[in-house]
Amino acid sequence: MRPNPDTDEQPTHSQSVKAQLRLREMILAGELPSGSRIAELTLVDKLGVSRTPIRTALMKLGQEGLLEALNNGGYAVRTFTEHDVSDAIELRGTLEGLAVRLAAERGYSPELLAQAKTCLDQIDQFLSTDSLNDEAFSAYVAHNERFHALLAQMTGSALLQRELERVIGLPFASPSSFVIGQANSAKARDMLIIAQDQHRQVLAAIEQREGARAEAIMREHCRMAQRNLNEAMRSPDLHPMTSVRLIRRKT
């Protein structure tokens, strides 16, 4: 049954995340042209969800820098290039690497460290099954975002936290900038298990006051995100003109 776009039903978090994943994929594939206004009703039909999760997804993608808010309301796809995406992820790795090094060298809040460990324990529960359904992947996204936010807080630096927030607002620089192909692929769980191991190694390095090691692990963690995005971009499930799908011409 086609969703009613005017329904007031409360969507589940997984519906919003799934819409967000699919919209990222559509931007990667060029299905949503640069500068074009996003038509909510068209997305209701295309994605098979109501307006509420779509609006939530659009707002999140706006915060990530993939969409820009229009003066008369709504959103449009921003102009960016594949190099912009690569640079944004590299910049996040640099700043997050600095953040964990400072947390290790300057000292950290035991309470924040405990919260981060609890967050990872919860992620372990989602990864304990052979495959991830929509609800489990949605929960992973939420806890992964919280973990990275806790790392930033552990620096005790308001300045660094502000700069990390700015970087996350760049195209595909968010720690949870997955696309739906990554969520549903056979390798998705393996990828997340590797990422989870890196999460735990970073915390161990911070706890042991090994700043250089924490920084190196965090930067490699972000490079893995870059490799995963490159793989998603070149997936045969996306538009065949892989080498240019992210290139947007400025008008």
Expressed in angstroms, the distance from the first to the final Cα of the chain is 40
Tell me 34's DSSP state.
B
Q: Which domain holds residue 28?
A: 13-79
Asked if residue 169 has pLDDT above 80, the reply is: yes
Q: Please check whether residue 229 lies inside any domain of the structure.
A: yes
Most confident stretch, 3-12, 135-144, 196-205: 196-205
Residues 149 and 228 in one domain: yes
User: Which pLDDT band holds residue 149 (cuts at 50, 70, 90)?
Assistant: very high
Total domains in the chain come to 2
Residues 125 and 192 in one domain: yes
Residues 110 and 225 in one domain: yes
For 8-65, write each residue's pLDDT tens digit: 444 467 788 888 888 888 887 778 888 888 888 888 888 888 889 999 999 989 888 8
User: Which pLDDT band holds residue 249 (cuts at 50, 70, 90)?
Assistant: very low
Residues 130 and 196 in one domain: yes
pLDDT at 25 (0 to 100): 82
Pick the last residue of a domain from 28, 59, 79. 79
pLDDT at 129 (0 to 100): 79
Q: What is the mean pLDDT of residues 197-219?
A: 97
